Homo-oligomer: A and B are copies of this chain.
Amino acid sequence: MRSLGVSRAIDYIHVASTEGSAVPRVTIRDVAARAQVSTATVSRALSGARRVSPDVVQQVRRAAEDLGYSGNGIASALRRSRTDTVGMVVPSIANPFFTSLVESVEHALQQAGRQLFLCSSRSDPDLEAQRVRSLVARQVDGIVISPVHGTDSTEAVGWAAAELPLVQVDRYVRGVPTDWVGVDDDAGLGLVVEHLAARGVRSAAFVSSQLTNSSTELRLAGFRRHTERLGIAVGRGSVLLGEYSIDWGRKAAAALLGSGRLPDAVVCADDLIALGVLQTCSEAGVAVPGEVLVTGFDDIPFSALSAPPLTTVRQPQELIAAEAVRLLQQALGRVPGEPARVALPPSLVVRASTG
């Protein structure tokens, strides 16, 4: 299990301050002593909270530098009662859609001088509740959450929202009036269905996850509304609900193929499902887009690489993240007012899977 063969490639250097076992932390008192001023002055000189004469600032900087002082964020946080940190809870880190969202949020926060505490709820409402409690106990300044479940997550989200600023992204729970930012799911399905109609599609199936959260519900509702509007047939047994995964996409496609009544198009509620569908079609020798058209939702990076590349709905995650962070900062500043509900418009990315 343990092969140390690589260590030969490493040259050691001497790290100056590792000698003692427990290196005592340099505190503001040490700096004050060395600079021969009070701790108050050190604090002011370093943070700029109040004017300090230039030469004293020099001394203090010098002393801090010499001692390698790096401050104690915990003590500072306790006194100022803010941590400059926000927590983020997502159902899965493995789903590239959430990955992009996390990356964008991290980036937006960084520009606002804050850090990200990342938690994965692993699609488990209990674990999610635990993570939320933990974040609140750690005094994060705010929370960005994509709740696992439309109703089972309500309690945790509601409780947290009462404690601190909270923004829901992508999904939201019923009944808790917090800010929300996401994509306009109905519009997204409108784009897809119109595109399919223009391609001459007369019948369609929908493959999605169980209807346990808002965005899933809205996507199905959008699918139904727009297909009806455009006269596209949706047969009985043509709406398959499982989970957001490649594997479910495979299974659902196998079921559709097995049923013998393949529709003109398979609309998927996310790209992972669609990739699974494509894979099964390819294995079964069903031509895409020859015999059936397939679409996804999210536009994850790999949807451009499948065979055939996938037509999908692009979510503006950068914008979603930026808006979420903006709302959070805003909520940090003032008393809570009417919660904002921001549904950003998606766009259609047409690739070979729809001809």
Contacts and interface: CB of A to CB of B under 8 A. Distances in A.
Copies assembled:
2
A2 interface: yes
Contacts of A275: 302, 305
Chain A residues touching B, majority SS: mixed
Contacts of A161: 15, 18
Given A117-B116, A343-B3, A83 B74 contact: yes
Nearest to A214: B9
A113 B348 CA distance: 43
Contacts of A182: 6
A222 to B, nearest CB: 11
B93 A103 contact: yes
Contacts of A279: 305
Interface in A151-183: 158, 161-163, 172, 174-177, 180, 182
Contacts of A93: 99, 102-103, 106
A85 B115 CA distance: 13
Nearest to A183: B6
A2 B342 contact: yes
The size class of the interface chain A forms with chain B is 35 or more
A115 B106 contact: no
Interface in A53-71: 70-71
A175 B12 contact: yes
A134 interface: yes
A335 interface: yes
Contact of A117 (B102, B115, B163, B187): B115
Interface in A79-97: 83, 85, 92-94, 96
Interface of A: 1-7, 9-13, 15-18, 21-23, 70-75, 77-78, 83, 85, 92-94, 96, 99-100, 102-103, 106-107, 115-120, 122, 133-134, 136-139, 158, 161-163, 172, 174-177, 180, 182, 184-187, 214, 218, 246, 275, 278-279, 282, 301-302, 305-307, 335-336, 341-345
30 contacts: A1-B345, A3-B343, A3-B345, A6-B185, A6-B186, A6-B218, A6-B341, A7-B341, A10-B175, A13-B176, A15-B162, A22-B335, A23-B162, A72-B78, A72-B137, A73-B138, A74-B83, A74-B139, A75-B78, A92-B103, A93-B103, A94-B103, A115-B117, A115-B119, A115-B138, A116-B119, A246-B301, A275-B305, A279-B305, A302-B302
Question: What 10 A-B pairs are tightest by C-beta distance, nearest first?
Answer: A307-B307, A118-B118, A13-B175, A21-B335, A73-B138, A7-B341, A93-B103, A17-B162, A302-B302, A73-B137
